[in-house]
């Protein structure tokens, strides 16, 4: 049987001109894939100057439909930016790449292979840290590479089923969002503010509940290299990020329950991290550099994450923290910086165009606008069958 290649829309969310060279490198890595993408969608998070500059940069590519520059149609933040990209995507599959990462040449090809199985709803890959200094800090434990947005020690290797993918290197069937809705707003990153996360965890758990026989995979052959700037090598960032992770886990547990929300974390904290501490102490006893520092960092990371989780649980009980999610609807048009006018409907309608046009932005219970429309779900499951 011949393998059918599926069209990919690649979404890259951007927010600052400080990453200009990184953004261009990310787009170039998509344009040179061994399996060409149908399109690259650059979603700009409430930054008019960057929107216009990228529009000029990719004007010719936009005319050919290769690279489109879109304004985030929802509230500020990564989740709403991704939802904007999903709504505009024309591909059968939607892949996400961080704006400060570059994909290896076969990144999309390995993703594509996994979707031969119609049960597969999402596929993630392996993210390698690209340290700005050229090397990992001696004290920084591989078990905490998730702090810098990378694959961490303790994740299974090869091509395996997982609870959730990591958002900066992931792909989904476009129709999976019809079954589960989009990324939850109010939980993910918002520019340079406190680095919250876990929005992809919450989405994947929701997706598994919506389609119980669906499969979520990681294929570690789909590799990207994620830039780690100097400020993220510091212990202060490590401490802040682990605390924020605890806050995020509390929000996820509130949404999906502690059993599912902390399912993978239990193995991580009871098996992976103790082994890491023991390894660090052994290295210290053998006189190897950084062993004691790595052991200490693991203990500190667990402690600050636990503190963040307890604070987050208190806030959610008191009603101080809220986020919202709902179906992704395809809008009638998408605004582009290349022309600064409304694109034609054909430019933004996904391959599976069963959903009606979005009636408008919704408002979540806290009063903040959200890009997610909360007016019911699609009548199709993510494999294409009517439900």
Q: What is the DSSP string of 240-305?
A: HHHHHHHHHHHHHHHHH-HHHHTHHHHHIIIIIHHHHHHHHHHHHHTT-TTHHHHHHHHHHHHHHH
Give the mean model confidence (pLDDT) for residues 192-220.
84
- pLDDT-based confidence at residue 192 (cuts at 50, 70, 90): very low
pLDDT tens digits for 119-143? 999 999 999 999 999 999 999 999 9
Strand 159-161 with 369-370, pairing: unpaired
pLDDT band at residue 219 using 50, 70 and 90 as cut-offs: very high
Q: What is the pLDDT of residue 260?
A: 56
Which is higher by pLDDT, 40 or 188? 40
Tell me which DSSP letter residue 229 carries: -
pLDDT in tens, 282-310: 999 999 999 999 999 999 999 999 999 89
For the cut 50, the answer to whether the pLDDT of residue 164 exceeds it is: yes
Give CA–CA dist 272/357, Å, rounded.
Answer: 46
Q: What percent of the chain has pLDDT over 70?
A: 75
Q: Which two tokens stand for residue 62?
A: 């936009």
Query: Is a pLDDT exceeding 60 seen at residue 253?
Result: yes
**pLDDT for the residue 198:** 77
Is the pLDDT assigned to residue 264 strictly greater than 90? no
């Amino acid at each position: 049987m011949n393998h059918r290649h599926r069209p990919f829309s690649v979404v890259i969310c951007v927010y600052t001109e400080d990453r200009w060279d990184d953004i261009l490198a990310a787009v170039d890595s998509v344009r040179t894939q061994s399996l060409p993408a149908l399109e690259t969608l650059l979603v700009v998070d409430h930054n008019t100057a960057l929107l216009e500059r990228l529009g000029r940069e990719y004007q010719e590519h936009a005319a050919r439909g290769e690279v489109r520059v879109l304004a985030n149609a929802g509230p500020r933040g990564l989740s709403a930016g991704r939802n904007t990209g999903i709504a505009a995507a024309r591909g059968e599959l939607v892949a996400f790449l961080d704006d400060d990462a570059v994909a290896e040449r076969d990144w999309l090809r390995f993703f594509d292979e996994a979707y031969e199985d119609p049960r597969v709803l999402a596929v993630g890959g392996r993210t390698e840290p690209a340290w700005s200094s050229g090397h990992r800090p001696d004290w920084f434990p591989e078990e905490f590479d998730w702090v810098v947005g990378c694959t961490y020690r303790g994740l299974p290797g090869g091509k395996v089923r997982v609870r959730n993918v990591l958002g900066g290197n992931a792909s989904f069937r476009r129709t999976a969002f019809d079954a589960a809705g989009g990324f939850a707003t109010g939980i993910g990153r918002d520019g340079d503010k406190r680095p919250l996360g876990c929005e992809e965890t919450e989405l994947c758990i929701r997706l598994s509940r919506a389609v119980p026989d669906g499969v979520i995979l990681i294929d570690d052959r789909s590799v990207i290299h994620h830039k780690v700037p100097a400020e993220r090598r510091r212990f202060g960032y490590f401490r802040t990020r682990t605390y924020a992770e605890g806050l995020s886990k509390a929000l996820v547990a509130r949404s999906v329950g502690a059993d599912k929300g902390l399912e993978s974390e239990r193995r991580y904290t009871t098996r992976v991290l103790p082994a890491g501490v023991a390894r660090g102490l052994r290295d210290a006893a053998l006189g190897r550099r950084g062993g004691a520092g790595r052991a200490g960092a693991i203990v500190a990371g667990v402690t600050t994450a636990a503190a963040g989780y307890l604070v987050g649980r208190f806030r959610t009980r008191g009603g101080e923290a809220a986020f919202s999610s709902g179906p992704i609807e395809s809008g009638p048009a998408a605004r582009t910086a290349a022309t600064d006018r409304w694109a034609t409907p054909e430019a933004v309608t996904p391959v599976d165009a069963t959903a009606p046009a979005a009636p408008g932005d919704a408002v979540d219970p806290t009063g903040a606008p959200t890009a997610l429309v909360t007016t019911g779900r699609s009548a199709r499951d993510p494999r294409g069958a009517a439900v």
